Structure 1
Amino acid sequence: MGISHTIMMLAGLLLVALMLRPFAERRNLPFAALLVATGFVGSELLLWFDIDTGVRHQSFHDLIFYVFLPLLVFEAAFKIDALMLRKNLFVILLLSIPILLLSILVTASLVYIGIGHPEGFPWIAAMLTGAVLAATDASPITARFAKLGVPKRLRILMEGEDLFNDATAIVMFNIVLYIAMYPQEHITVADAVASFAVVFFGGIFIGLLVGLAFLLVSRLFEDSIQQALVSLISAYAAFLVANEILQVSGVMAVLITGLIMGRVIHNDFQDERGSFVDNFWAFNVYVAEALVFLLMGVTVTFAMFEQRWLAMLIGIVAVLISRATGVFGTAPLINRLPWIDDVPRGYQQVLVVGSLRGAVVLALCLSLPVSLPYWWTVQSIAFGVVIFSLFVQAPLVPPLLKRSELLHNDPG
Structure 2
Amino acid sequence: MHDMASEVTLVVVIGILLIGAVATIANRIGVAAPLLLVVLGAGIALVPGAPDIEVPPEVFLTIILPPLLYTAALKVPAVDFRRNLRVIGYLSVVLVAVSALVVALVLQSLWPVIGFAVALALGAVVAPPDAVAATALGKRLGLPPRVVTILEGEGLLNDATALVLLSTAVAAIERPGSSDVEGGMLVGDFALAVVVALVIGAVVGYATVRIRQFAGDRAIDTAISLATPFVSFLAAESLRGSGIVAVVVTGLVIGNRSQVRIRATRRAQESATWSTFSVIVENGVFLTMGMQLPSVMAAVDEGERHLVGVIGVGLLLCAVLLAVRLAALPPLLAWLRHHAWRLRREHDRLGERLQGIDTTTKRGARLQHVHVVRGHDLSAFRDQKLGWRDTLAIGWAGMRGVVTVAAVQTLPAETPMRAELVLAAFVVAIVTLLVQGGTLALLVRALGLGRDRSERRRMELESIVGEAIDTGVEAMRREAQAHGIDEAVVDIASERMLARRAWAAHVAEVDPDDPTTDVAQISRLRHIAIEAERVWLDRVRRSGRFDSATVAVAQRIIDREEIGLQADEDEH
Shared fold (TM-score greater than 0.5)? yes
- Give how far 1:267 is off: 2.7
1:66-145 matches, cutoff 5 A: 66-113=62-109, 115=110, 117-118=111-112, 120-145=113-138
1:193 aligns with 187
Q: Does residue 126 of structure 2 align to residue 151 of structure 1?
A: no
- Give how far 1:209 is off: 2.2
Tell me the SS of whatever aligns to 1:122: helix
The structure-2 alpha-carbon separation of the partners of 1:174 and 1:61, relative to structure 1 and needing over 3 Å to count, comes to: same
- Give how far 1:336 is off: 2.7
Match of 1:355 among 398, 405, 412: 398
Q: In 2, distance between residues paired with 1:7 and 1:386?
A: 28
Q: Conserved in 2, the CA contact under 8 Å of 1:179 and 1:187?
A: yes
1:233 aligns with 227
2:318 aligns with 316
Tell me the SS of whatever aligns to 1:393: helix
2:153 aligns with 160
* Greater Cα offset, 74-83 or 206-215: 206-215
Tell me the SS of whatever aligns to 2:207: helix
- Give how far 1:219 is off: 2.4
Q: Which amino acid letter does the alignment assign opposite residue 334 of structure 2?
A: P
Match of 2:440 among 391, 394, 397: 397
Q: Does residue 10 of structure 2 align to residue 12 of structure 1?
A: no
1:376 aligns with 419
Q: Which amino acid letter does the alignment assign opposite residue 228 of structure 1?
A: T
Q: Conserved in 2, the CA contact under 8 Å of 1:346 and 1:404?
A: yes
Q: Which amino acid letter does the alignment assign opposite residue 41 of structure 1?
A: G
Q: Conserved in 1, the CA contact under 8 Å of 2:81 and 2:149?
A: yes
Q: Conserved in 2, the CA contact under 8 Å of 1:10 and 1:291?
A: no
Q: Which amino acid letter does the alignment assign opposite residue 63 of structure 1?
A: V
Q: Which amino acid letter does the alignment assign opposite residue 348 of structure 1?
A: T
Identity %: 25
TM-score in terms of structure 2 length: 0.67
Aligned length: 402
* Greater Cα offset, 202-211 or 253-262: 202-211
The structure-2 alpha-carbon separation of the partners of 1:307 and 1:298, relative to structure 1 and needing over 3 Å to count, comes to: farther
Q: Deviations over 1:134-184 (max 9, x none)?
A: 121152242243343221111111011000111111111111111222154
Q: Which amino acid letter does the alignment assign opposite residue 326 of structure 1?
A: A
Q: Conserved in 2, the CA contact under 8 Å of 1:200 and 1:248?
A: yes
Q: Which amino acid letter does the alignment assign opposite residue 168 of structure 1?
A: T
Match of 2:248 among 250, 255, 273: 255
1:274 aligns with 267
Q: In 1, distance between residues paired with 2:332 and 2:176?
A: 34
Q: Conserved in 2, the CA contact under 8 Å of 1:208 and 1:257?
A: yes
Larger Rg: 2
**Higher RCO (CA-CA < 8 Å; seq separation 6+):** 1
The structure-2 alpha-carbon separation of the partners of 1:100 and 1:187, relative to structure 1 and needing over 3 Å to count, comes to: closer
Q: Which amino acid letter does the alignment assign opposite residue 380 of structure 1?
A: L
Q: In 2, distance between residues paired with 1:52 and 1:146?
A: 37
Q: In 2, distance between residues paired with 1:410 and 1:283?
A: 30
Q: Conserved in 2, the CA contact under 8 Å of 1:125 and 1:378?
A: no
- Give how far 1:67 is off: 1.6
2:407 aligns with 364
Q: In 1, distance between residues paired with 2:407 and 2:152?
A: 20
2:544 aligns with none
What residue ranges of structure 2 are gaps of 5+ in the alignment? Answer: 301-306, 344-377, 458-572
1:337 aligns with 339
- Give how far 1:215 is off: 2.6
Q: Which amino acid letter does the alignment assign opposite residue 246 of structure 1?
A: L
Q: Which amino acid letter does the alignment assign opposite residue 28 of structure 1?
A: G
2:23 aligns with 21
Q: Does residue 211 of structure 2 align to residue 217 of structure 1?
A: yes
